[in-house]
Amino acid sequence: MLTVGGREIACPVSLAPMAGVADSAFRQLCKEFGCGLLTSEMVSAKALTMSDRKTKDLLRRAPIETPFAIQLFGDDPEIMARAAQLVMAWKPDFIDINMGCPAPKIAGNGSGSSLMKNPPLAAAIVGAVAAAVEVPVTVKIRKGWDEHSVNAVEVALLCQEAGAAAVAVHGKTREQMYAPPVDRTVIRQVKEALSVPVIGNGEIDSPQAAAQMFAETGCDGVMVGRGALGRPWLFAQIGEYLQTGEVRTCPTPRQKMACLLRQAELAIAHKGEKRAMAEMRKHAAWYFKGGRGASKLRAKAGTLTTYQALEEMTKEALDLGCLEEN
């Protein structure tokens, strides 16, 4: 159980807000496998205030997607506050502020992880958003900008003082991007400094890694990102391991392929076949990762245009016996 801003989250394992990846179809599967908290793909506050249609499309979700946070990014407190008020029309349970995205087009414009270089502005944004909405406001930060400016504790404290109800810490610098290792020590330091819940993030790709994050940091929850790509059942495995020390959910190759097809069906229902299958190419490649002959299937996945082609590809994967056990 995780309680954020007085709101209870049954499972302390959440899905990271991965742009271009964690769409509604993928989030629904993660929820079905026991994910506690779901978050939208990151939404541009500026684009939202300009009524951009594509941006609003990121806010759509299915009834099963609850509790649900909408993540905003931007570098202007006033615009961020206005955007937070606008997204309340979609009835989120939380508003999350992105201070961790390392992508050049985000951080290069003063948003995302660039805010780690400007703690007063980071705090001002949190304060403005918290004052603008009635739901709890959370923040996702990094260890720091680089190894010469590790300031996660400072930024987290300022965010808490400004009204953040929880802080998720990705234990890597912006300079690292997504490369290992994850610094669990800095996450522990943030946990020891704050009174609000702290969520540990980084390199959680197995039930054991999740348990290690809890044990070494004392964090209140963990956030799973790329470790779940092509493996949404990881949430069930983590939940089982944390409760019993054992993993019972071990999907067969046929069950894995059924999961891939279901994700595609959910995506098609939301976006139409043409767009959905273009976006499913990378997901299919993740499902085919590892195993003998998988490289051939991943290459073919990059050409997907129809659901029928995906069905044929899953049959080929089963015939080849190339799906790894995990």
Distance of CA 71 to the CA centre of its chain: 10
Burial (CB count within 10 angstroms: exposed 0-12, middle 13-18, buried 19+), residue 264? buried
- Cβ-contact 9, 36 below 8 angstroms: yes
In Å, the largest CA–CA distance within the chain is 57
Q: What are phi and psi of 173, to 5 degrees?
A: -80, 165
Residue 101 annotated as catalytic: yes
Angle (nearest 5°) at CA 56 between 52 and 59:
160
Task: Tokens for 84, please give them.
Answer: 């937070």
Beta-sheet pairing, 2-4 with 7-9 = antiparallel
Task: Tokens for 35, please give them.
Answer: 């994910």
Catalytic residue among 101, 219, 259, 322: 101
Angle (nearest 5°) at CA 18 between 130 and 117:
55
Could you give the residue numbers annotated as active site?
A: 101
